[in-house]
Amino acid sequence: MLKVFLVEDESIVRESLRDNIPWNEYGYEFVGEAGDGEMALPLIRKTQPDLLITDIRMPFMDGLSLTHIVKKELPQIRVIVISGFDDFEYARRALTEGVDQYIMKPITRNTMWQALTMIRDKIEDEKKQQGYLEQYRLERREFEQMQRREFMEKVFSGTMPVEHIYEEAGKLGIAVDAACYNLILFSLRDADDSSDACDSAQNELMLYFMRSPAYFPMEWNLSSYCILVRGSEEAVREFAEQGMRKIEEVCRKAGDRLIWYAAKGEPVLRFSALQECFEKANHAFACRYWKPEEHVLTDETAGKILPENDRSTIRSVDASQVDPEVVIRFLKDGDPTGIPDFVSNYLDSLGDVLNSRIFRGYLVLNVRFSVLRWLQDAGIAQEKAQESLDADSQNFYLEAGEVAGYLKNLLARAMELAGNASASKNRSLAEAAKDYLDAHYAEESLSLNSVAQTLGVSAGYLSAAFSKEQGETFVEYLTGRRMALARELLAQGMHTAEAAARTGYRDPHYFSFVFRKTQGMSTREFRQRAQSAQEAQ
């Protein structure tokens, strides 16, 4: 119910309105009353009403002065002014102050019912419009995230010319006029399928980073996030530290229900220099494969991986450093851009023992078997995996200087093979989803969750696969199909409510909202233009 507050200096009138108007029946809750504006103001601040009904002439503070103050503090509040004076100047001032209704005394029940009904309908319509706008923003946000991620990937890889960087950033609404920049990388994953700690932490952290203009948060992949920090040099250092502390604070609350890691880069003075910043942050971030017990990853963490004593003999090697699970963890959670850092850290952790020919052979075979195991777990036949990995060479006895290049090529080839298999699977999934959408897009119950359930995959996986293969989000494609049908129906003269129902929209108001947003005109304007064009032919 909407809350209403009454201000009237004549007690008889005030009590009559309070007791004789069926507030609840009209959709209102009577939350308070006062005899003048001065007494009313603190009570209005406390009760936060949706509607203020006030007399215009009162001692101490009149109704228009009260309205002026309240409108500044509560811009969304609606106001009905009641007056015993038919004065043009009062009416003019009331309009200037944003009064919604001006009612003359004596007030009949029917007059008040009409005013209250009009105000209620207006407030509810505005709330609906706000809800529609929020829903539309959420639908657009998924597509914008994909575009921004693709743009930042090009910036971090150094493949985009500087002049194009600033042009594309402007199109995507990314401010690049700061004096300094830094990056925070973090990943979140539930420790087991029964936990919801990841969703809770993600929501809290993304809300925190979205509140401040110093942060620009982006989803990086299914479990990782990238935060662009921007501002003056001093502010960037401070906000980067604050961001890391916030991640640690939120994630530690989840205890062992959440697997998480975070790292940050070093500040750079140009947006185009973020490639260097990303490389440093990603280098520290890669340490999570060796130090899963470490959550806040820094250059010092990388230093812990390096040998602390003479490792010139095989006997001195720490077995945990050549554990196959280290390689498999990287293949599962990493990506091709992280291969150089992974291999570098991996070999640095072994030290001088690579000078041993026997150990080099053991290491190469160990990593190769780990890769084959991972590919088989990914559903790739052993023969195909071996053929792909052995395409360049089957010589496993390498010189010390050749090991890094071999491992980089091996991991890159494995990820490419798995990526091709995954891409083929994603293409098939995206095509199946597209075919299903084409057949059912006009059904009201259709949603990302319902299609995912039909295809036997998670909604998140389907969303990511569909966006990557189709170049637009699930919601964008669905909306496009529905709007194409809507244009056909409206051009035939069909009424808006019927067109909404025929295109899968239960609420004709939301249908009209989406149509205006996507087509640049109302349904009525489109129908009239279509009819005029037909008559002119």
Q: Provide the b/e sequence for 176-193 (b: ≥16 CB within 10 Å).
A: bebebbbbbbbbbebeee
Please report the pLDDT score of residue 269 as a whole number. Answer: 93
Eight-state DSSP code of residue 176: -
Instruction: Quote the CA–CA distance of 404 and 410 in Å, as a whole number.
Output: 10
> Taking a C-beta distance cutoff of 8 angstroms, is the pair 374, 332 a contact?
yes
Q: SS3 for 59?
A: coil
DSSP string, 104-167: ESSPPHHHHHHHHHHHHHHHHHHHHHHHHHHHHHHHHHHHHHHHHHHHHHHHHHT-S-HHHHHH
CATH superfamily of 2-128: Response regulator (3.40.50.2300)
Sheet holding 2-7, edge to edge: 28-34, 2-7, 51-55, 78-83, 101-104
Long-range contacts formed by 150-156: CB under 8 A, 24+ apart: 152/218, 152/226, 152/228, 152/274, 155/271, 155/272, 155/274, 155/275, 156/274, 156/275, 156/278, 156/279, 156/337
Q: At residue 381, what is the residue type?
A: A
Provide the pLDDT for residue 377: 75
φ, ψ of residue 457 to 5 degrees: the values are -130, 170
Along the chain (537 residues), what's the average pLDDT of each consecutive run of 10 residues? 90 87 89 88 91 85 84 87 69 71 80 88 78 60 67 84 86 85 92 78 89 87 84 95 95 91 93 89 81 83 50 46 72 78 79 73 79 78 71 65 86 79 69 90 85 78 78 86 93 91 87 88 90 80
Rounded CA-CA distance 517/530 in Å is 18
Strands 258-264 and 296-297: parallel
DSSP E strand boundaries for 168-253: 180-190, 215-219, 224-231
User: How far apart, in Å, are the Cα atoms of 144 and each of 169, 291, 447?
Assistant: 12, 34, 20
Residues of the chain with CATH 1.10.10.60: 442-536
pLDDT at 391: 58
Say which CATH topology domain 175-304 has: Alpha-Beta Plaits (3.30.70)
The pLDDT of residue 186 = 94
CATH numeric code, 442-536? 1.10.10.60
CATH code 3.30.70.270 region(s) in the chain: 175-304
CATH 3.40.50.2300 in the chain, residue ranges: 2-128
pLDDT at position 389: 72
- Give the strand order in the sheet containing 258-264: 215-219, 224-231, 180-190, 258-264, 296-297
Rounded CA-CA distance 255/197 in Å is: 9
The pLDDT value given to residue 106: 80
Tell me what pLDDT residue 194 has. 66
What is the pTM (predicted TM-score) of this model? 0.48
Tokens 């959550």 found at? 295
